[in-house]
Amino acid sequence: MLYEQIQKKIEEAEKIIAEIESIKRDYKDALKDFNKLNKEFVKEKIDQEKYKEEAKKFERSDARGGNAIKKMIGLLDNLKQINQDICKLFEVKEKIVKGAEVDVKRVKAFVKSLRKVRGSEEKVKYSTYSYNFLGRYANQLFDKTSKRLARNYPDYFESLYKNLRLANIRVFSNTYINLGLMGSCFGSLIAFLSGFFIFGFGLFDLVKSLMLGVLFFFILLFIFYYYPKVVVDNRRREIKNDLPFAIIHMAAVAGSGAKLVDIFGMLLHGKEYKALAGEIKRIMNYVHLFGYNLTTALKYVAETSPSDEFKELLNGMVGSIESGGSIKNFLKSKAEDTLIRYRLDRKKYVETLSTYTDIYTAVLIAAPLLFVIVLVLISIVGTKLGGLDIGFIEKLGTFVVVPALNIGFIVFMNIVQPEI
């Protein structure tokens, strides 16, 4: 009798797990279509009337996720209760039937399924730092040196520490400096040894190899020093591009009555906004790992976020919560303002493109033609210009200078253009 009850409970747990997976699949498909609709509306591919008409369909399909969250929370609570009941049944069985064999495989399979569900939820709640062997080795070798440098040159290291915090590089500040010193020393040693094969093994060649090693040491130090700043600039640009769509998503989910911390968890679990994942993970860490309340977590993340727009959003949430305002209304108004700003930025970029077009026409189309005409006129008078043959100058300009300028212009456009 007890075995049948245990088996029945296990079957109920398997049904709940299957239902949770089904809800997650349905919500993921609806969310994908809902985000696609929002992007089409932002890019003005569809008008406002059609957007409202299509949005009503998503309200019925629960694209906002409020009902899905409530269902999953209820199912997980039921699963937890079933787990407790099974444990009690096993205790009763051990007391009544001493020495009776238990279906160990069935129990292990059930426990494994419970861990799978619980593990996926915990991954969304928080994440921790992982062990780094190179970092530990670098700390042992260069910890004293890096601390002495930090004390002697505080101005240089203060900006580095700030950029490391804003870049969200998952390495402690002192460990990063130690890694930079170790990498620079290792790279300079390789450059020094390579110098013998490049220059030779003479005394003067030894000096050249030594200079090459010193040069590589400072180049690698420079790269390590400015790498966090490059990461900060990239993160700032990526967050700015993802933020309008994330706010629209949050406003839609908040309309269903979901809690703000659940909304952040949903954004993180959906993996639609990769640029915001690092900031949201930190919020979840403060709330679920360190036990801070949501407003304190939002304040801490706002202080170290590289994006001014995201800081403004988090500070606005804090003000709305502390003043007793409605998060739903705040996110709705914020979504409208962000959409207007997003469209203005795109319009400004299109206007800037026209200026770049004029520059390209003048520098890379008209200037080479004028250059060729001038060279033809000079070739009538003489065959050389500045000690160089006219033919060599023409080939240099045609096959080196003009292609290099075109490549440089393409790289520049890829850097300045916003991601869509």
pLDDT digits (tens, 9 = 90+) for 239-288: 888 888 888 888 888 887 888 888 888 888 877 888 888 889 889 888 88
**CA atoms of 162 and 305, how far apart (whole Å):** 11
**In which residue are the tokens 């993996």 written?**
271
240 and 309 Cβ atoms separated by less than 8 Å: yes
d(CA 33, CA 215): 54
Q: What is the pLDDT of residues 100-144, one digit of tens each?
A: 444 555 555 655 655 554 444 444 455 555 567 788 888 888 888
| 349, 339 Cβ separation under 8 angstroms | no
Q: Read off the DSSP letter of residue 398.
A: I
What per-residue string of b and e applies to 312-338 under the rule 16 or more CB within 10 Å gives b? bbbebbbebbeeeeebbebbbebbeeb
Handedness of CA 52, 55, 59, 61 (dihedral sign): positive
Q: Which residues contact 41 (CB under 8 A, 6 or more apart)?
A: 48, 51
**Using one digit for the tens of pLDDT, what is the confidence trace for 357-397?**
888 888 888 888 888 888 888 877 777 776 778 788 888 88
Q: Is 383 exposed, middle or buried (0-12, 13-18, 19+ CB in 10 A)?
A: exposed
User: How far is residue 221 CA from its own chain's centroid?
Assistant: 25
| DSSP string across 148-212 | HHHHH-HHHHHHHHHHHHHHT-SS-HHHHHHHHHHHHHHHHHHHHHHHHHHH-SSHHHHHHHHHH
3-class DSSP assignment, residue 420: coil
Whole-angstrom CA distances from 265 to 42, 61, 75, 275, 277 are 24, 20, 17, 15, 10
Average pLDDT over the chain, rounded to an integer: 79
Count CB neighbours of 137 within 10 A.
Answer: 13
Would you mind telling me the total number of residues written for the chain in this entry?
420
* pLDDT for residue 322 is more than 50: yes
Per-domain residue ranges of the chain? 2-124, 133-235, 237-341, 350-416
Q: On the CB side of 276, how many CA atoms lie within 13 Å of its CA?
A: 30
pTM for this prediction? 0.58
**CA separation for the pair 64, 51 (Å, rounded):** 15
Does residue 326 contact residue 29 with C-beta atoms inside 8 Å? no
Residue whose token pair is 């990526």: 238
Closest by alpha carbon to 314, among 326, 292, 331, 328?
Answer: 331
Given CA atoms 306, 307, 313, 316 in this order, what sign does their dihedral have? positive
**Sequence-distant (≥ 6) Cβ neighbours of residue 156 within 8 angstroms:** 225
Torsion sign over Cα 363, 365, 366, 368? positive
Band the pLDDT of 221: cuts 50, 70, 90: very high
- The whole-angstrom separation of Cα 409 and Cα 357 is 11
Q: How confident is the model at residue 99 (pLDDT cuts 50, 70, 90)?
A: very low
Question: Exposure string (b/e) for 183-218, b if CB count within 10 Å is 16 or more?
Answer: bbbebbeebbeebeeebeeeeeeeeebeebbeebbe
Provide CB contacts within 8 A for 23, sequence distance 6+: 68, 71, 72, 75
Average of pLDDT values for 160-172?
84
pLDDT level of residue 70 (50, 70, 90 thresholds): low
31 and 65 Cβ atoms separated by less than 8 Å: yes
Q: What is the pLDDT of residue 130?
A: 59
